[in-house]
Structure 1
């Protein structure tokens, strides 16, 4: 069960039929999007609790609940092993090495869901965790994309044993990302906000590619870098067909 805060994440979860309970701040039920959500709740039998503002503020973790909080079951429960077994030759996952900002993690999950990835691996320590902020920023993407909090190295071994290529996205890469074949079974490895991909993890990768920078800055925000590479893969996959 996860707590979703804000109209858009709750609305997305309602469309997917995963919400089991709604809590709505009194006075907010007249707002257009909340009215739409409540209409769906009435039709589908989702219980609604009307709450005072102070009670909602106590419940909220993000402080940006926009008058509504939903509680949902997620369908993103597949293990890495099951994903490897079921997905086939076009599997795509991301390995995030200590991405600590929950807004970045949420944005990557949102982009990942939109681009069709099969899951995201994050370390048990030194990383942002799945939280209400992550769920809100992902705009419902966290309901669909498995996020595995795991020891990265056994996960990497499992991927490599299954024939998945590991491609690091790092400024040290010799080839630009668009000159690399990003199709087929691939795991993209991205480093955290300040350190990049650590050397030990880099040594496990089959390739390293970079995103060319035309200005004076050395790198992009990690969520932007993830979006660029994922949608280059989408482009290449479409062209390949």
Structure 2
């Protein structure tokens, strides 16, 4: 990863922060993109662009263009931006399905489309998306979320097929990630079985590295000890 320009969307979230830190530790130059305001001062190897609505294709393009201009290109895009909703279908709001699609699919689609010209030009372009084990078979209350993450899986496969030989495109499929928010919402769960952000970050950055040059179109389970 040394010297690579890595874009991390959702960089202020629990997973995004760790991915950015691990990438920096590996010698990468990191650009964080998030809907929240930027809170980290720029350094030679790190910039953050806040206030970006990645569901808007124009805003996504402006952010990626700014990053490419600052660092001179983009080598890897890690799509972490997204959201979660737990809602039964019959009692729920149909707008939840639209909201989940926007947060999980459109953000990855818009960021990917914006980054593709730079990734292709780099010669070692990588896209890593975050899917979900829960999207392989939806459980009760998981319909909208699982459908949106299944959309991320199909987006990953289609992009991998379209850019084979130029850009690798893969997705990690975590089980429950061990974050403060998940612990608060499931206080009786066995946290030791969950996948940690560090463990997931290591897999993500492997897929973003030169070592994974022969891997594309993969939906890789990272299910901790579940």
Q: Identify whether the pair has TM-score above 0.5, normalized to the shorter chain.
A: no
TM-score by length of 1: 0.34
Q: Which has the higher helix share?
A: 2
Over alpha carbons, which structure has the higher Rg? 1
The TM-score, its normalising length taken from structure 2, stands at 0.36
